[in-house]
Every structure is written in structure tokens, then in C-alpha cells.
Chains A and B, each alone.
Chain A
């Protein structure tokens, strides 16, 4: 488990360094995900069981990890209250329309090509 955590943190660190060195517009952890995926694909064998178990443990409660940042909404309550109409419409209708449109498009393309 410590070995697997070290792998995850090392990939994140490589991601953070690359993002800064190459001035990439993505966050370090997202690039870290690409680094880990590339390493696994190049290695080309079964997933190391410890890495699989540690990733499953972290991702099993992925929602929890968004809670501290989510509570930060309290800082913007006045700003949100002043612009509540466009914000709530865009957040609710915009997000749900995007989900429907992306899902329909992906399903149609997968049927035809995939």
C-alpha cells in the first residue's frame, strides 16, 4: 500500500513538474494520470494488485475528497445570491443538456463506428 501510494504521488509529482516546465494548461494530477496510464500500458502486464487495491480504496470515496472544496461555496453566497437567476439556470439546464447531448452523440457514434 505504501509502495502504491508512492507510485501515485510520484506520478503526480512528475505531472506537476512537467506542467510547470512546459507551461501546460492542465493541472498536475491530470497529467499524472496520463503518466501512470502510459507507464501501465508500456509495462503491458497485469495491474499490480497493491496498486489496484489502493486506487480502489481512494476512488471508492472519491466524492468525499470534493467536500472540503465544495464547502467553499459559503464564501461566495452573496455573489451567488446577486446573480442567482442566470447562474442557477446555466448550472442546472446547461449541465443537464450537456449530459443528454454528449450521451446521445457518443451512443450514436459508438453504434455506427465502435
Chain B
């Protein structure tokens, strides 16, 4: 399968902890996979492997038919693969303010996306507006923000690149109801976008049911199929 995410014979271990044991699965273009599993089974690592951020010990991951290069992730962007990754703790660059964090990826690929400084600014502010970051917080440093705001800013950074692959690691963990709704609305929008392939890691039952897509449980290095009813 060329379009979407394809994982073939993936193996990865942290010492004795098996994250993936010869696993193979596909998520077609526009599809969504939800991964559940107990604490410490390696859900986040599986996401890193799928996004090409970490090299597997063996096996191949392809995104729209392209194999990621860990040391040169810009290679994927040049091939038309744009990744949006929401890390569990946000992962904002600590020495850049919120706006600069969102603009960074756009500035780095400005020639590729034909973006002027004004367009970069507009697109970054638009993404921040979608996650309801107030203007007064645009120039705040990540350390001065609440966890929820940091996570929303990280989501803004992920969607600013208009990704065609989205990886969300515990997207609503530690968020209040309002912030979780903002994140949820964006997540559902991405799920329904036929161009966006998504993988979501969560143990939150209500979110899994709301997403209502194919769900697999990661257990001792294997992905076991599960089924949840979609709640409209």
C-alpha cells in the first residue's frame, strides 16, 4: 500500500520491554487508528516509530510510500509528507515564545511552501486562533504557561503545517473540559478529513468511543484488534 501509513515487520525493544515484535499493519489514507494499552507498554514509542522520529531495530515504516530518515526529517516534507505530532507534554521549544514555536516549522520550509513572512505570520496566528490561544499569550514563553495552554500551542504548531499525517499522544490527558473540547473538535475535524491519516494513542474510553474508529490494543509488543461503537 503506497498511500497512508504502512508498517511492515516492525521490531523495537527497550532492553527487555518489547514495544513491537514483528508487527505489521496499515492505516489507509484518510483513515484513523486508535491505539490503547496499559501504562508503559510503549504507546508513545510506537507513535514515534510510526512518525519516523525513532528508527526501528528492524522492519520498515512508510508514509505515503516514503521511508523516513531519522537524521533528516525534512526529506519527508520535500516528498509531500507533512506530519503533525502532538506530544504528551507538548514538546514546545523552551527558548522560543508561543508564536515563534508555531512559526518555526513554517519558516524552516518557507521556500518549499512558497510562504512570505506575512503569510507565515497569518498562518501561525490562524492556527493559534483555532486552539483559542489569546493574543496576550502569543509572546509568552512555554515555561510561563499552564499545561493546557502549552498543549493547545503544541497542537497549533502541529496543525499549522497543514499535515497529511497526524499523530496524537494522549491528546486530552490532563486537560480541563473546555480545553479537552477544543482539542477534541480539532481531532474530529482531522479524523473526518479524507486527506489526513491519523494515529491516536489514548486510554480515555469516552474519547475512543467518540473517535469511533479502528482501535487496537498494544500489549507486550503486539497490536490486538478491539472494536468500539462510534458515538455520534
- Do A and B interact? no
Interface residues of B (CB under 8 A from A): none
